[in-house]
Structure 1
Amino acid sequence: MPILEKLLHLKIVRLSDRSFGGSRMICSMDGFPQLLELQFVGLEEWEEWTVEEGSMPLLHTLLIGYCPKLKELPDGLPFINSLKVLSFSLNAR
């Protein structure tokens, strides 16, 4: 994520099927300045997500599907005022 969030013109990020192998993910302040859509599907080892204030200011769609170890949504999610669509699927794929 540290590299992806610095790509200034990135609009959509889709991480799926074990493409992220860590247990902790951080979206830093000022990261993903143009991101509109973020999808996580099949990240089986992902447990914790931190969203810092000022991260993803234009995000309007967040989709999370089958991330069985994810414990909770990040406390920083309410800082994203542009969020319009939030979707979760907890079932196996």
Structure 2
Amino acid sequence: MPVLGQLQNLTVLRLLANSYLGEKIVCPPGTFEGLEVLKLWMLKDLKNWELEEGAMKKLKELNIRCCSKLENIPIRLLEQGTFKDLTLTNMPEKFKQTVEMNNPWEQADGTQNGTA
């Protein structure tokens, strides 16, 4: 991840089925500067994701699918002004509830922009 994070022209990153085997992803400040779309699919060992201030500043879309051990989405990510679309597919109900509870862009009618 540290090497990928330094690729300034990287706009889309898809980590699919066992392409990342670690339990934790850490994104230090200044990494993934141009990233706009991130897809995390079927990463069976991923438990934790840390996003430090200044990382993934341009992320607009996040898609998480079948990452059953993942415990969190960084709050910092959800609070960024550029973030627009979150899709959760085949994720544990507890995970979805945690995300909904921390979602700063919940609409007045109780629906959420992009959360499935």
User: Considering the TM-score relative to the shorter chain, is it more than 0.5?
Assistant: yes
- Look up the SS of the partner of 1:76 in the other structure: helix
Aligned match of 2:38: 38
CA distance in 2, matches of 1:90, 1:27: 24
Matched, 1:55 2:72: no
Deviation at 1:65, TM superposition (A): 0.4
Give yes or no for contact 1:50–1:75 (8 Å, CA) kept in 2: no
Output one character per residue of 1:21-80: Cα deviation in whole Å (capped at 9) or x when no partner.
000101111111111100000000000000111111111001000001001222322342
Give structure 1 stretches of 5+ with no counterpart.
none
Query: Relative contact order (C-alpha < 8 Å, sep 6+): which is higher?
Result: 1
Q: How does 1:71-90 map to 2 (within 5 A)?
A: 71-90=71-90
TM (norm. structure 2) is 0.74
Give structure 2 stretches of 5+ with no counterpart.
92-116
Aligned match of 2:26: 26
Kindly report structure 1 stretches of 4+ aligned residues shifted beyond 3 Å.
none
Aligned length: 91
Q: What amino acid maps onto 1:81 in structure 2? A: G
Aligned match of 2:96: none
* More strand by percentage: 1
Percent identity between matched residues is 32
- Look up the SS of the partner of 2:5 in the other structure: helix
Larger radius of gyration: 2
